[in-house]
Chains A and B, each alone.
Chain A
């Protein structure tokens, strides 16, 4: 029972500019649930991608059942009964569940006639029943909910006969309630003899479900221990390398006039389906309003709508800094009255091949500060950028360096510095610290709070409940495109917010 099914020895993997794994050793016992714990960027996903054949390690050896093996591609991994459920689902929405599951299974010349498809459906259905997954093989993936899609992913792995299952942050897209159901399911699988490696950065999940835990930090193993012999505080210390952050010191908010007031905001997606369904709220000067919710419940569309960045938007009333802009060009109005730290900094917040200084002027490139008579003021732009770099402690050799060469945290600092320097009355912040290290996170949080204390009204959208509670003065919960409740920002409310994120409108009733 306790013989190792897998051993990874001295795994090294480097990418341009980053060492992701520096000599990692990992041992997994047969039938256990093994948590791989670490912060964003600690190298957990890279390590597991190596095991699944998506990356080839620079050096190191992998032993499966005691035998050294090489895994050059996912095909090898599947053949060796290793399966992986990725954080971003690997499902093509225009195909059916069954089509997604059998991708790559048959030789190219195989004819997928009714009989063959029927057999596949039968096999999927029986597996689905056996594990209680409730998956319909004929359904098109685009019609499934996030939870259902995750079950398809798990079924996909089981269908291909995996006995070593890798799950990458599986609860990130789930409500707390869905998440605990998933953890129970994992326990069931373990009882049936499956081995599970479970990537996470959430301590409570580790404590709840794992048999053993390995902590990674900065591409290295800090330690492996039996879960029941450790505690969250010790794990946190291993994970972060120092005592965990205490709560930020937050002054009481003193809200002033409304800077953003919208009523009955509606957004439709590309297919014409409503994704934001009649949202109304107000943000006042000097307060932070947090929007909590599981990813994919309309937050992105809500943010883009407020910034005037998508087309299919309707509302009854829209006020910015006290001015009614209901009938105006929303993009222009929003650009004038507000600043916006966007969700996806690389796709929207910056122009990657541009230099750091060119990115600093992205929003104001034609303002008199940076341009005169239609020409850019090179010297003014340069010295402004150097000042900002100093002020925000951005690590860069010269402001003429391409921003693409900066780390994620420094890139985000450029975006934050740029947006805050526009001195907005209203600031829209969406996922400000996703994927950046603790130091940068702390810095960004302090900047946002300072902005609030300076009288800016802030709407903070985040799927990270910790962040919401740490920064917000009050909390709105969004579920399936609707704001289904407002709560004070008080840690005693965490459970209630969690239930509401799962769609319970009045959690007190239970």
Chain B
């Protein structure tokens, strides 16, 4: 009898060890695999992968000031990523982080530009909340189309991305164009609407801290609150959730609102902390990268902080790689896709080995 308990204890212990290893190691291995395949592609395109990756690494981590640039890039990724995690946990495949980011950037800019007389301590919060609201509404539109009409959210959120991007292009070249300006961009937002720098002379600003707080807050929401419990139940088994008295449609809308709100906040903070004005391509695809960020760590907001910094490093590094080694930065998109596929393959492998063991 005692031997049996010992064995089961041992088994449990090794299971726990393995769980921890899987949680931390697996994402890194996934990234290594992606980088390895990326190296093959680099060779195929006649680049030296070592040189390219070295340029990428130095671009991101050469010194402290370049690392603050990484954190600057990580900020929108974390915001959108933790938002997507909530939607994914609710079983909603929100691919619309990009559009929701634009929606937040637009509303944030509009508030900053058209209510500039307000004092900073009101204006800045208003810009951020307004941005979050803009993103939330944009996401809820897709949520509404799903719950009311059964429209596939993957397709609608992608379509709404295009609509948001095109609408932004219209706004900055028409109604919101900077007075007497010729470029399609808005005027700069007033000082009172800007996020304070936290480490001058670097560009790192309060936005990064807000993103960290957001991640912690959404972690608590998903795993420790009763709302999060309901959202997860809906995501895994909507039928059982309905049976248990959980309102499925309400939770889908709520998850979409949180998801879009986080992305929208990211958009407003990009304006208030980095660019200070709105223009056509305000996002280099943050919304899509954030999908990989969230999936890489199994939609865990705390993990997303690290994954966001990692991918922020990849894209910052890639820009430098393009400048210094002439390697096109879009390579990062390939790596993102490959990372997701590696994670998927890992998951399948895990299920297979577990089945075999039992």
Contact = CB atoms under 8 A, between A and B. Distances in A.
A and B touch in the complex (CB under 8 A): yes
Interface in A328-363: 331-332, 335, 340, 342, 347-354, 358, 361-363
Given A16-B358, A340-B243, A352 B236 contact: yes
Interface stretch (A192-200, A235-243, A319-327, A370-378): A370-378
A362 B226 CA distance: 10
A438 B244 CA distance: 28
Contact of B236 (A331, A351, A363): A351
Interface string B227-251: 1011011001101111111000000
A311 to B, nearest CB: 11
A352 B241 CA distance: 12
A443 interface: no
A376 B243 contact: no
B275 interface: no
B225 A354 contact: no
Given A375-B224, A376-B225, A348 B243 contact: yes
A354 B233 contact: yes
For the complex of A and B, 5 pairs with smallest distance between CB atoms: A335-B245, A16-B358, A371-B226, A366-B226, A362-B244
A268 to B, nearest CB: 19
A17 interface: yes
21 contacts: A16-B355, A331-B245, A335-B245, A347-B240, A348-B240, A348-B243, A349-B240, A350-B237, A351-B240, A353-B236, A354-B232, A358-B229, A361-B229, A362-B244, A365-B229, A365-B244, A366-B226, A370-B226, A376-B225, A397-B8, A397-B12
Contacts of B227: 374
A371 B229 CA distance: 11
A335 B243 CA distance: 8
Interface of A: 16-17, 307, 309, 331-332, 335, 340, 342, 347-354, 358, 361-363, 365-366, 370-371, 374-376, 378, 397
A500 B226 CA distance: 48
B106 to A, nearest CB: 32
A163 B227 CA distance: 59
Nearest to A340: B243
Contacts of B224: 375-376, 378
B244 A363 contact: yes
B229 A309 contact: no
A347 B237 CA distance: 8
Given A351-B240, A371-B226, 13 more contacts: A17-B358, A309-B243, A332-B245, A347-B239, A347-B240, A351-B237, A353-B236, A361-B229, A362-B244, A363-B245, A374-B227, A375-B226, A378-B224
A309 B245 CA distance: 9
B239 A348 contact: yes
A378 B239 CA distance: 25
B8 A349 contact: no
**What's the dominant secondary structure at chain B's contact region?**
helix
B354 to A, nearest CB: 8
Size category, B interface: 20 to 34
B240 A350 contact: yes
Nearest to B237: A351
Nearest to A331: B245
Contacts of A362: 233, 240, 244
B199 to A, nearest CB: 34
A348 B241 CA distance: 8
**What's the dominant secondary structure at chain A's contact region?**
loop
Contact of A365 (B220, B226, B354): B226
A354 B358 CA distance: 19
A370 B199 CA distance: 44
Contacts of A348: 239-240, 243
Interface string B322-352: 0000000000000000000000000000000
Contacts of A352: 236-237
Nearest to B245: A335
B209 to A, nearest CB: 23
Contact of B226 (A307, A335, A376): A376
Contacts of A350: 237, 240
Contacts of A370: 226
Contacts of B240: 347-351, 362
A371 B233 CA distance: 16
Nearest to A366: B226
A335 B245 CA distance: 6
B229 A307 contact: no
Contacts of A16: 354-355, 358
Contacts of A335: 245
A374 B226 contact: yes
A16 B355 CA distance: 5
Contacts of B220: 375
Interface string B170-212: 0000000000000000000000000000000000000000000
Contacts of B355: 16
A85 B230 CA distance: 41
Nearest to A353: B236
A309 B240 CA distance: 10
Contacts of B232: 354
A407 to B, nearest CB: 13
B225 to A, nearest CB: 5
A113 B243 CA distance: 48
A347 B226 CA distance: 22
B216 to A, nearest CB: 14
A264 to B, nearest CB: 25
Contacts of A376: 224-226, 229
B226 A309 contact: no
A374 B230 CA distance: 11
B245 A375 contact: no
A352 B224 CA distance: 19
B174 to A, nearest CB: 44
Nearest to A372: B226
Contacts of B225: 371, 374-376
Contacts of B241: 351
A375 B229 CA distance: 10
A451 B237 CA distance: 29
Contacts of A353: 236
Contacts of B243: 307, 309, 340, 342, 348-349
A309 to B, nearest CB: 6
Nearest to A367: B226
A309 B243 CA distance: 7
Contacts of B245: 331-332, 335, 363
Contacts of A342: 243
Interface centre among B236, B237, B242 (most CB of A within 10 A): B237
A225 to B, nearest CB: 35
A275 B241 CA distance: 25
